Amino acid sequence: MDYWVAACLVPVVVWILLSGLDDLFINVVYLVTGRRRFPWPSALELRQIPERRIAIFVPVWHEHGVIGQMLEHNLAEIGYSNYDVFVGVYPNDLPTVRAVSEQCRRHPRIHLATCPHNGPTSKGDCMNWIYRRMQEFEAQHGVTFEIVVTHDAEDLVHARSLRLINWFSRGYEMVQIPVLPLPTGLREFTHGLYCDEFAEYQQKDIPVRQRLGGFLPANGVGTGFDRASLDRLAATRQGRVFDPECLTEDYETGFRLYALGCRQIFVPVHFAGSSPVATREYFPRTFRASVRQRTRWVTGIALQGWQHHGWRGRQVYWFWRDRKGLVGNLLSPLANLLFLYGLASFIGSLATATPWHFRFYVPHWISALCYCTLWLSWLQAGVRAHASARIYGWRFAAGVPVRMFWGNLVNSAATVVALWQFAAARIEGRRLAWLKTEHIYPMPELRYAISEGIHFQGVVDVSSTFAARESYSPYAPGATPDLVSPQPRAAA
């Protein structure tokens, strides 16, 4: 057994070292460039600059349980006046149509955008029809929207986000506001994994990516697009602004805009009082739901991205960063098992006062690489813990190493499913199905506390703060997308 375990060590250690050095490079760049001043406008400048007209797109399917709360809360919180909300619905989703229609009667700035066919199709397809509804609205009222902002039915929109998008859109064609999960309890391992990953990705990876000249993948929510640039993009795709066949249409849109020469900017995470200025929401809380969502991310970002763009151009390094999880996610659980086997073998030798035979099967250079990968892994865990602590507090961040092990299992399962579904779709010559995620919306008490800037330190009792809704998935059983987020990567 020791011999075969030692043989498995070689490819695993080499891959983890390669991936770990890649992450180390990003960490070093972050430390070296982290003190650069960001051109923040003052509060007075944000208030005094003329408000450009903004259209907020919200595509929905079976969201009658949350869409009313989402619209009511955000319309009350948004500190901006020159905007309208277009909610995309399907004619065969009557409960959601009724819920949105009720909000339209109560709020003149909300508009129903009904797709001409039954759903669900895809998020990109739904937003294309919202775009047409916006054009009809412009023709009817003699107005022009200068900015399009995308959001989902579970989002808590920060009061300052539209003002920030309005400010930076004068110099950039795409503006991304940070997206951060809402805090949950310490026992919520799956949701806590999202908290850790997004905290690191939004505070470190994306800023470094931008400083090194990489394209900015849209997060799908809190993203502001210059209207003229979207029209240019539509002209390259037979009038379709968003790709209806891509499972991560936001990632694809970010790359396509960059390829057109559009300027992009990510607004760094900063705090208003003790609360970060970001779009907040809840993410999947169970293993199964998380695997379903991450299957979509792996399929859209890694597999469809590879299919559409290959490995060419100046962005090849960032393609590597976005796709290396295809290998790393599969190897990470094996690496964890090998580590536990070696540890158990060593403890067993101590307990029986016998030589540790396993070491005789491992060449010296492999042992040296193992120590290097262990150091890189703990360094990466420390970086993630630091990022998580800044948002959720050190008590919550102390669980990062455990959640990294859990994340290896989640990401591995999602990658296996993604590879299987992608291969099956290619062989059968069919389109990949749009996957839908269960959405939940925080209860009024938590929404009030967040708007007041209360910092929960990641220990909220979620049992009393969730407004749950029934999950639907009629198009493809076991399916789901939502937000585009960081591509799940292996944690050694």
Q: Please answer whether residues 303 and 423 qualify as being in contact, where contact means their C-beta atoms are separated by less than 8 angstroms.
A: no
Q: What is the pLDDT of residues 456-492, one digit of tens each?
A: 444 444 434 444 333 333 223 333 333 333 444 443 3
Q: What pLDDT is recorded for position 483?
A: 33
Q: What is the pLDDT of residues 392-412, one digit of tens each?
A: 999 999 999 999 999 999 999
H-helix or E-strand spanning residue 175? strand 174-176
Q: What pLDDT is recorded for position 3?
A: 65
Whether residue 438 is predicted with pLDDT greater than 70 in this model: the reply is no
Mean pLDDT, residues 313-338 = 94
DSSP H stretches of helix in 34-83: 43-48, 67-77
Q: What pLDDT is recorded for position 356?
A: 74
Q: What pLDDT is recorded for position 453?
A: 52
pLDDT confidence tier of residue 370, bands split at 50, 70 and 90? confident
Mean pLDDT, residues 199-227 = 96
More confident residue, 458 or 130: 130
More confident residue, 362 or 211: 211
More confident residue, 483 or 182: 182
- Of 100-104, 251-255, 368-372, least confident by mean pLDDT is 368-372
Mean pLDDT, residues 240-265 = 95
Whether residue 429 is predicted with pLDDT greater than 90 in this model: the reply is no
- Of 111-120, 167-176, 326-335, 337-346, least confident by mean pLDDT is 337-346
Nearest to 329 by CA among 370, 297, 361, 359: 297
Q: Please answer whether residues 215 and 407 qualify as being in contact, where contact means their C-beta atoms are separated by less than 8 angstroms.
A: no
Q: What is the pLDDT of residues 350-366, one digit of tens each?
A: 888 787 777 767 788 88
* Mean of all residue pLDDT scores within the chain: 87
Which residues lie closer than 8 Å to 379 by C-beta, 6 or more apart? 24, 27
Q: b/e string for 366-395 if b means 16 or more Cβ within 10 A?
A: eeebbeebeebbeebbebbbbbbbbbbbee
pLDDT confidence tier of residue 8, bands split at 50, 70 and 90? confident
Whether residue 381 is predicted with pLDDT greater than 70 in this model: the reply is yes
What value, to the nearest 5°, has the Cα angle with vertex 448 and ends 447 and 450? 65
More confident residue, 9 or 115: 115
State the first-to-last Cα distance of the chain, in angstroms, to the nearest integer. 22
pLDDT confidence tier of residue 60, bands split at 50, 70 and 90? very high
Q: Is the preceding omega at residue 120 within 30 degrees of 0, hence cis?
A: yes
CA distances from 63 to 153, 284, 440 (A): 7, 16, 9
Q: Please answer whether residues 254 and 172 qualify as being in contact, where contact means their C-beta atoms are separated by less than 8 angstroms.
A: no
Q: Which long-range contacts (CB under 8 A, 24 or more apart) does 328-331 make?
A: 328/15, 328/16, 328/19, 328/489, 328/490, 329/298, 329/408, 329/411, 329/412, 329/414, 329/415, 329/488, 329/489, 329/490, 330/412, 330/415, 330/416, 331/11, 331/12, 331/15, 331/16, 331/490
Whether residue 80 is predicted with pLDDT greater than 50 in this model: the reply is yes
Which tokens belong to 380? 């990466």
Which residues lie closer than 8 Å to 4 by C-beta, 6 or more apart? none
Whether residue 218 is predicted with pLDDT greater than 80 in this model: the reply is yes
Q: What pLDDT is recorded for position 459?
A: 44
Q: What pLDDT is recorded for position 275?
A: 85
Give me the residue spans of the domains in the chain: 40-186+213-283
Q: What pLDDT is recorded for position 306?
A: 96
Q: Could you give the percent of the chain with pLDDT greater than 70?
A: 87
Which of the 8 DSSP states describes residue 173? S
More confident residue, 207 or 10: 207
User: Side chain identity at 462, as an amino acid letter?
Assistant: V
CA dihedral 275, 464, 220, 58 (to 10 degrees): -110
Which residues lie closer than 8 Å to 118 by C-beta, 6 or more apart? 90, 91, 92
- Alpha-carbon distance of 194 to 180, in angstroms, equals 9
Side by side, the strands of the sheet bearing 83-89 are 110-114, 83-89, 54-59, 147-150, 223-226, 174-176, 264-266
Domain 40-186+213-283: assigned CATH number: 3.90.550.10
